[in-house]
């Protein structure tokens, strides 16, 4: 019809409209529009737009945008942006930024920076730096270095720096 071409082969239907191509195979539908490609297979939907690829599978959504990748699986969300990786699983959030890894689980925050590990649990703060372990529980500070165990009830600049560093990645 005019510039439209229809073709039915068995249960398959092909349709070319100018630069658009539609294809229905059983319950599967393929569609190419200009540089965009949409594809529905059963309950799965794939979509390619330029360099952008979107994919919906059942309740799962996978999406690749340029160098960024977004992925939603059920209630879990995975996201890769450049060199940064953000991940939300249920109520847990994992975050990798460069060499920094932060993890939020409920009200708990875990953060790994290079070889340093910071962990905030409720009002308690645990911090492992190199071979030294610092732990702040309420107003108390526990420090384990090798076989040495220290407990200081007060604040130190190093602890304040660690606390501010953790809050920076919160």
Residue-level pLDDT at 160? 30
Which three-class secondary structure state does DSSP give residue 46?
strand
Residue-level pLDDT at 97? 36
Domain ranges in the chain are: 98-156
In tens digits, the chain (170 residues) has pLDDT values of 233 443 343 334 444 444 444 444 333 444 443 334 444 333 334 433 333 333 333 333 333 333 333 433 333 333 333 333 444 333 344 443 333 444 444 344 444 443 444 444 434 444 444 334 444 443 444 443 333 333 333 333 233 323 333 333 22
Cα–Cα distance, 40 to 32 (Å, whole number): 11
Q: Is the dihedral of CA 104, 106, 109, 112 positive or negative?
A: negative
Residue-level pLDDT at 45? 41
Q: Is the dihedral of CA 15, 20, 21, 27 positive or negative?
A: negative
Residue-level pLDDT at 11? 39
Cα–Cα distance, 122 to 104 (Å, whole number): 11
Residue-level pLDDT at 58? 30
Residue-level pLDDT at 78? 39
Residue-level pLDDT at 132? 44
Residue-level pLDDT at 110? 45
Residue-level pLDDT at 82? 31
Which three-class secondary structure state does DSSP give residue 163?
helix
Cβ 101 vs Cβ 169: under 8 Å: no
Alpha helices in the chain (DSSP H): 157-168
């Amino acid at each position: 019809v005019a510039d439209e071409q229809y073709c039915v082969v068995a249960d398959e239907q092909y349709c070319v409209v100018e630069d658009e191509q539609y294809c229905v195979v059983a319950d599967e539908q393929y569609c190419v529009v200009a540089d965009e490609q949409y594809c529905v297979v059963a309950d799965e939907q794939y979509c390619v737009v330029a360099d952008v690829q979107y994919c919906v599978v059942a309740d799962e959504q996978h999406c690749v945008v340029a160098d960024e990748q977004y992925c939603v699986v059920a209630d879990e969300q995975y996201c890769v942006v450049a060199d940064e990786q953000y991940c939300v699983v249920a109520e847990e959030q994992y975050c990798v930024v460069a060499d920094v890894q932060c993890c939020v689980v409920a009200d708990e925050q875990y953060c790994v920076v290079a070889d340093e590990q910071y962990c905030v649990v409720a009002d308690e703060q645990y911090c492992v730096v190199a071979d030294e372990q610092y732990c702040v529980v309420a107003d108390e500070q526990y420090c384990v270095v090798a076989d040495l165990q220290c407990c200081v009830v007060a604040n130190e600049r190093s602890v304040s720096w660690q606390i501010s560093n953790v809050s920076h990645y919160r």
